[in-house]
A and B are shown apart, each in its own frame.
Chain A
């Protein structure tokens, strides 16, 4: 292998130290055994592996990490966190990094996932509980999926699914709200 072709990076460990003190997330203990990656059910859809995310955080590669799709593909199944021999909360770090990616305003590679989370929280903000029918409408419009599905004809499948749910008595017509809406809204401000 020609060594000169390997890109070099300058480690900047300050970022890791900041995360560790900010949210009590343990990152420095990772010794790259890759148990997290080997047990992860969704690596097939990730651009970098979970162990690589942790290594890049250790090396302070903030831009690279905040732009990866891995943090959004993570299904939060907690297998990695459960099995890590060094008590690294990998799934918790994925959440922390999603928050930082939004804060930094970087382009989110999994736009639809981000939009789904956002409309979900907006729905909770509105009435304190999620109203599934309204949530799906908002998602379809905001994500552009409504137009995509009209264009490619797959909207028929969505309508059929919704109709079946309705026919089977599983779609509420009216939402249920809570009394303490203001308190919940304040949490989500």
Chain B
């Protein structure tokens, strides 16, 4: 299966673990990722906050490249996905004449977790699982941008997304239902208003603990960073101990498929997942 791939800026840097696990897992699943040539930043929160026209144009340029390539484009970062979808709707909508880029609506933009959770791909994963993640109690945490607003994302289940739940069940994990799948982590507020993020992630830890989860599974590098990098700090603020490894769903696919890169990816996390995985005889 051949698709276009838009990694986004973070996956070239701080989210290297996500990128490495995506490359390894897609190779095993025979999904050929063709990186969009000369892609640019989607503009992220900064562009849509300060300059609507630029936000649509920055993401629009990438969509034009994707249409030239002719294949559906898969996007791992939910914020990039959301920005590309926003541009798609604007460039195909009634105000399309305001922008310098023209689209024809020929390729589909996919959130990567949704793409991987398709029946056909899950069948392949199931046939390749070597080490089922038995006994691993996970909550899937989706965050905001792959779901909301559904008018932009085309999500059918924006209040209760299930893509990662389906993937993790297929890997044999114990997927625990909870009500905070799509609550916000505060995202880029972590730079200028970390106090907001600490409050929001503190609540997520608390709610995950209440349902008996041992770790989070995420598809967003912003959610991963906010939940993983400041865990000690939030724990000391709350006056409690917190130990929640924060996995990318692709890392856990790699683990269940017996990929040799797993330890390297996980070594890039702040909260060490090996303690949990060794205790479950999964690594």
Instruction: Find out whether the CB atom of B184 lies under 8 angstroms from the CB atom of A184.
Output: no
Q: Taking CB as reference atom, which chain A residue is nearest B192?
A: A112
Q: Contact flags (1/0) for A41-77 with B, using CB distance below 8 Å?
A: 1101100000000000000000000000000010111
Given A82-B148, A188-B54: A98 and B13 within 8 A (CB)?
no
Instruction: Find out whether the CB atom of A124 lies under 8 angstroms from the CB atom of B40.
Output: yes
Q: Taking CB as reference atom, which chain A residue is nearest B95?
A: A24
Q: Give Cα A102–Cα B52 distance, bound, in whole angstroms.
A: 13
- Whether a CB of chain B sits under 8 angstroms from the CB of A156 is no
Given A45-B196, A124-B58, A180-B40: A81 and B148 within 8 A (CB)?
yes
- Whether a CB of chain B sits under 8 angstroms from the CB of A10 is no
**Closest CB-CB distance, A67 to chain B, in whole Å?**
17
Given A99-B51, A178-B38, A187-B54: A78 and B148 within 8 A (CB)?
yes
Instruction: Find out whether the CB atom of B188 lies under 8 angstroms from the CB atom of A132.
Output: no
- Whether a CB of chain A sits under 8 angstroms from the CB of B133 is no
Partner of B149, one of A82, A98, A116: A82
Tell me which residues across on chain B come within 8 A of A188, comparing CB atoms: 51, 54, 58
Instruction: Find out whether the CB atom of A121 lies under 8 angstroms from the CB atom of B46.
Output: yes
- Whether a CB of chain B sits under 8 angstroms from the CB of A23 is yes
Tell me which residues across on chain A come within 8 A of B186, comparing CB atoms: 41-42, 75
- Whether a CB of chain B sits under 8 angstroms from the CB of A19 is no
**Closest CB-CB distance, A87 to chain B, in whole Å?**
9
Q: Give Cα A168–Cα B266 distance, bound, in whole angstroms.
A: 10
Tell me which residues across on chain A come within 8 A of B144, comparing CB atoms: 75-79
Q: Give Cα A124–Cα B189 distance, bound, in whole angstroms.
A: 19
- Whether a CB of chain A sits under 8 angstroms from the CB of B250 is no
Q: Contact flags (1/0) for B29-70 with A, using CB distance below 8 Å?
A: 000000000111101111111111010011001000000000
Q: Give Cα A179–Cα B34 distance, bound, in whole angstroms.
A: 18
**Closest CB-CB distance, B107 to chain A, in whole Å?**
20
Q: Contact flags (1/0) for A119-153 with B, using CB distance below 8 Å?
A: 01100100011111100100100010000000000
Tell me which residues across on chain A come within 8 A of B61, comparing CB atoms: 180, 183-184, 187
Q: Taking CB as reference atom, which chain B residue is nearest A157?
A: B233
**Closest CB-CB distance, A104 to chain B, in whole Å?**
14
Given A82-B148, A129-B41: A172 and B189 within 8 A (CB)?
no
Q: Taking CB as reference atom, which chain B residue is nearest A165?
A: B14
Q: Give Cα A71–Cα B2 distance, bound, in whole angstroms.
A: 42
Instruction: Find out whether the CB atom of B267 lies under 8 angstroms from the CB atom of A128.
Output: no
Q: Contact flags (1/0) for B258-271 with A, using CB distance below 8 Å?
A: 00000000011110
Tell me which residues across on chain A come within 8 A of B27, comparing CB atoms: none
- Whether a CB of chain B sits under 8 angstroms from the CB of A110 is yes
| A149-189 at interface with B (beta carbon < 8 Å) | 161, 164-165, 168-172, 176, 178-180, 183-184, 187-188
Q: Give Cα A99–Cα B47 distance, bound, in whole angstroms.
A: 10
Q: Give Cα A112–Cα B196 distance, bound, in whole angstroms.
A: 13
Given A124-B43, A128-B41: A172 and B12 within 8 A (CB)?
yes
Instruction: Find out whether the CB atom of A178 lies under 8 angstroms from the CB atom of B49.
Output: no
Interface, chain B (partner A; CB < 8 A)? 9-10, 12-17, 38-41, 43-52, 54, 57-58, 61, 94-95, 144-145, 147-150, 158-159, 183-184, 186-189, 191-193, 195-196, 199-200, 229, 267-270
18 A–B pairs (Cβ distance < 8 Å), ordered by A: A45-B196, A75-B144, A77-B144, A98-B49, A98-B50, A99-B49, A99-B52, A110-B192, A116-B191, A117-B50, A120-B45, A121-B47, A169-B268, A170-B16, A172-B12, A178-B38, A179-B38, A187-B58
Interface, chain A (partner B; CB < 8 A)? 23-24, 41-42, 44-45, 73, 75-79, 81-82, 89, 91, 95-96, 98-99, 102, 110, 112-113, 115-118, 120-121, 124, 128-133, 136, 139, 143, 161, 164-165, 168-172, 176, 178-180, 183-184, 187-188
